[in-house]
Structures are given as C-alpha cells and as structure tokens.
Chains A and B, each alone.
Chain A
Amino acid sequence: MKILIIEDEIDLLSSLVSFSEKENYHYDIAKTYSEASERISLYDYDCILLDINLPDGNGLQLLETLKNVNKTDGVIIISARNSLDDKIKGLNLGADDYLTKPFHFPELNARIQAVIRRKKFDAPHTLSFANIEVDLQLHSVKVNNNIVNLTKKEFDILQHFIANKNRVISKTSLAEYIWGDHVDSVDSFDFLFVHIKNLKKKLKQVQASVEIKNIYGVGYQLLEI
C-alpha cells in the first residue's frame, strides 16, 4: 500500500510521516505543488493525501492533472479551509473524500482504508480482526460465525477499532467519530465508557479473542489476544 503525502507544513508533514510508518504504509512526500505534480506523473499511489493550499499552486489543479492522465489514485483532500465550495469542487474533480484540519489520525486512517477499499474492484465488504468479522454492508458482526447483536453505536465503535487495530485511539477522537461535533465531551466520555463496557461484555460472551485496553484514561486500544 503506497500513499503520497502532499503537505507544506513541515510539522504536520512529520506527524503524517510518523503515522504512515506506524500503519506500515509506504509513503512518498511532496512539499510543493511542483514536487507533487512530478510524483503524480511518475508513480501510482493507492491514496493521495492532498493539502490544497500549497505555496506554489492550488492543490485542486492536481486533481485535474490526475484526471487528464487517466489515473485513478484515491485522493483525500486535507484542507484548513472548511469551505463547502472547495469541498464540492474537489469532490467533483474526482477527490474521494474531504477532511478538515484539525483531524484525528484514527479518522484519517479509517478514511484512507475506505478509499482504498472502494478503489479495489473485488473489495470485500468485510473487515476482520482476530476471530471477529464485520460486514460493512449488512452492519453485522460475527465472531466464530456466531452473530453478535450490537447497537448501532457499539457497531460504529468496533468498526473504528478494527480500522485502527493495535493503535491507541484517544477518547476525544472516538467520541467525535460517534457523535460528531454536537456532544459535550465531558458527558460523552462517560457515555463512551458505558458503550465500551457493553461492547466488551458482548465480545467476551462470544469469546472474541480480542481485548479493548484502556490506556491510562487517555484512550482505548484494540489488541488480539
């Protein structure tokens, strides 16, 4: 899996690089429009992370370049401008997703995986981890071929965990993934705790060989046992 990171902010770029290393993605970086343009024409990527505000050009033009050379690289726009215009323009030009700064890594990760899955012809609609199998289309979860009945939120949490397996997901990131922007984080941590407790219990009942580990109150981590 190869990704191209186009970002002119060095500090953010370095974070993205660390993130990619942890996910074991192969990555290239481009700090300017011209660098990005060159890389795009030379190589194929599974996913391109595109900051559209570049010092020497508008990232949206890279999308046109891609279109012109008939490349089907997946593109996720990462923009500081949460502008609907840019979003619509970007998506019309063939971008697959649009993420606004600041973003959470688990969110980015889930989106990268979704983009890559969509790009594959025979992509499975399932995610699996240990003996857990999640069907994204049917919204069902099986452990050792036994259906586990999860609420919608429990399902979302599990799906997010599997997309970010072995990584620590911060509570804020998880809460935002589930409730969006509109819920107070103080309350939502408690609610999150309840959901995760229920999820743990249900997974344990069907003997899923996973552990949802609480990391010092900062976040949670899904591990295989």
Chain B
Amino acid sequence: MNPIKLLTLTSRSYMIIFLVLTVSFFGVFYFVIQKEVFKSTDEVLYNRKMHILDQLKKNGGKVSPEVFQYSDFLFEPATTTNPLKDRYSDTLIYETVDNEWDEFRKLISNVELNGTPYRMEIIIARLETHEIVESIIQTLAVVFILMAGAFYFTTRYFSKKLWKPFYNTLQQLNNFEVDQSKDLELKPGRIEEFMALNKSIQDLTDRTRSTFINQKQFIENASHEMQTPLAITQSKLELLIEDPQLTEHQSEIVQTLINSTQRLARLNKTLLLLSKIENQQFLEKESVQLKPLVQEILTNFEEQQENLHINIDQQIQESVSVRGNRVLVDLLLTNLIKNAYVHNVAHGSIDISVSDHRFTISNTSGSEAIPEPKLFQRFYKQSTNKESWGLGLAIVKKICEINQWTISYSKLEARHTFTVSFLEKSAQ
C-alpha cells in the first residue's frame, strides 16, 4: 500500500463525511420543506373554502362570480352524501401556455348549503417539487463547496501549523548521526503529545549516543592501554635478536613473535586512527595538490607493480587540488591505491584518473564484485590475505564522510572501480 499523508487522509475522510452529511441534509430539508409548503398551501385552501362558504351563506346561495374574484373553485351539487371531510390532494393540470403539466394542490370538500349537499373543489398553484429539489440542491451545493473550500484551506493552514513541531522533530531525526556531537534541537512547543514525543526521542538519542560514546571510548582506551605492553614486547624482542647466543631455531621463533607483535601493533594503530578520524582530530585543512601526492604514493608500491607486472595508466590533470587535511587525503588515496594492488592479478592493470573534484581508480581483479553494504564495513575482508583486516575501506569511507565527499563503487567487466567526488555533498 502506498503511504499517504496524514493531512490527505484526514481531509479525505472529512470530505466523505461532509458529502454524506450534505446528502442526508438534502433529504431532511426536502421533507421538511415539502411538509411546510403543503401545510401552508392546505391552510390557504382551507381559508379559501371558509371564505367562499361564508359568502355563499351570507347571500343565500346566490353570489355573482365577481364576489369571488377568482374562478379557482368548482361548486356543484353533490351526487352522493359523503362524510363532511376535507380531502387534500395533488393534481396535475395541463397548461397550454407553456405546454406542460403544472402541479396544483386541490381541496375537495363536501359542504352543505341550505340543507343541500354540494361538492366543492378548490385548486391552488403549488411550488413544484423539482423546483424545491433544485433550490435545495443548489443551495446545498454552494454551501458544500464553500464549506469544503473553507475546510480545505483552514485544515491545511492549521495542520501545517499544528504539525510543524512534528516535522521539525522528524527532520532533526533524519539528520541525527550518532557519531556526531551535534545535538538534536527539538523545539519545545506547547502540544502535549509532541512534547511527550520529543522527550522520548531526546531520551532515546541521548541513550544511544552515550552508549556509542562509551563504546568508542572503550575501543580507544583499550587501544591506548595496549600500546605500552606492545612497546615492551617489541623492545624485548628486538633486544633478543641481538643476542649472539641465539640459535637459528630460536631466531625463527623470535621472528614469528616479532611478526605477530607487529601485526597487533598495526591493528591497534589502525583502530586508533579510525577513532581519531571519527573524533575529528584532523582539523587542519589545506589545499592538497593531487598529482604529486598520487605519484609519491605510487612509488611506495613500485615493488608490487614490478612484481605483479601491473600496467599503470595515469590520466592526471595538472594542478588539481582538493581542500582537506593532508594526512587524511594521503591516507584516503593510499588506501585506495593499496586496495587496487592487493586485489589485483599478475599482468593486470590499474587506471587512475584525476580531474576536477574527482579521483577515480579502477583495477583488474580476480575477485567477484563486492556486495555494496558490506563494502565499507569494518573487518569485512574478501581476500584471504592474512595481513588484511578489512579496515582500509572503512577508513576510506570515514574520511569521505567527515569531509562530506562521496565515494562510489562499481564493478564492470572484471574491473573494480572506486570514485571519490570531492564536491561537498551539501554543495551538490
């Protein structure tokens, strides 16, 4: 089911209720008005009858037609002696002027004049039913349209006003990031429900953030605490390898220990680095020239390049620079370039292109496309390389995030491509 706006939904429901009400109003109106019309018409007929009888009685049954002014009645001797009961009924009389049947109200009454029974019929033109219906419909339609319009605009206006704190809260929540120190700015307002909502949200985000900060702090502290024991181990091992009495076998063991210690130290360093990036500890920004940086990084991988016979294609525009922290830009590009080497195949290739605001690197690879959600996850590794922790791309992502750059990944014809757009997201 498609989501629907609350305002639309309530408006729609109200409109339906309005319509139903209006139709029922119509029915009620019709009956009430018809009844009133009949009642007053019948009253007029009755009055007329009494008036005619009065005249007849006064003049002993002989009245010239002028006295009655209008010839709207029939007066004839009754053939039967019916009970003296007035009968009101509707009748249609064909009107030749406009060629239609007009509606009349008729009173049939048996009266007695001078002891003789007479039958009396009086007619009076009546407001026609369809006219009543028409006027009611017209009136109600106008009322309905006016009311609906008024309702539509007022609800829109008030809803917007009423729901403003809600949308404000929603937007704040959308922009909320647990790893950023920016607090939610929930406007207090005076609507109880929204106040309750805001309070719950505030509590929830505070709790989430404090949990997150505690965890981060934990990793950071743990990593820091590990530095000293690692330093001790490493220093002792380095002193040990200088011992002339060390046998070859012992040396091999020491070498393994040194390697493991080194790995641990580097993992620790990387974790610390990640938390430092997250903590925004690389504040100093400058304009970093990309070409010399890329070439400097590439020299660090010369050996891999020669070893794997990798063909490097560089399309680097001169004097393209990006604004950022030098250490982080270096780290970003190093990790991407390293990635391109680590996942490459012998006699493969790496294409690097740098143009305004964009760094693209693509490489041949023996491995499958990386599932996007896992791509930048910490400790997700695809290679079986024991020396890899799967932190490189997590760092890349983090650096992009804090600089509001975008990174995208695609796999096309056995080539993995990463593109970093240095335009800040907000400026796009």
Contact = CB atoms under 8 A, between A and B. Distances in A.
Interface of A: 9, 11-12, 15-16, 18-19, 22, 80-85, 100-106, 152, 167-168, 170-173, 176, 179-188, 190-191, 194-195, 215-219
A219 B241 contact: yes
B238 A173 contact: yes
Contacts of B224: 80-81
Contact of A167 (B242, B261, B270): B242
B250 to A, nearest CB: 9
A218 B241 contact: yes
A16 B235 CA distance: 8
A168 B237 CA distance: 11
Interface stretch (B34-42, B77-85, B300-308): B300-308
Given A82-B269, A85-B281, A182-B334, A187 B232 contact: no
B252 A217 contact: yes
A186 B387 contact: yes
B276 A191 contact: no
Contacts of B299: 152
Interface residues of B, number: 49
Residue of B242, B261, B263 ringed by the most chain A CB atoms within 10 A: B242
5 contacts: A80-B224, A85-B281, A186-B385, A191-B307, A218-B252
A80 B228 contact: yes
Nearest to B243: A168
- Residue among A12, A102, A180, A185 with the highest chain B CB neighbour number at 10 A: A102
Nearest to A187: B304
Contact of A83 (B228, B248, B281, B385): B281
Contacts of A217: 251-252, 255
Considering residues B231, B232, B276, which has the most beta carbons from chain A within 10 angstroms of its beta carbon? B231
Interface centre among A105, A106, A170 (most CB of B within 10 A): A170
B237 to A, nearest CB: 8
B222 to A, nearest CB: 12
B231 A84 contact: no
B251 to A, nearest CB: 4
Contact of A216 (B234, B252, B269, B303): B252
A216 B387 contact: no
A83 B239 CA distance: 27
A77 B227 CA distance: 15
Interface hub of B227, B239, B303, B335 (most chain A Cβ within 10 A): B303
B160 interface: no
A19 B239 contact: yes
A15 B262 CA distance: 17
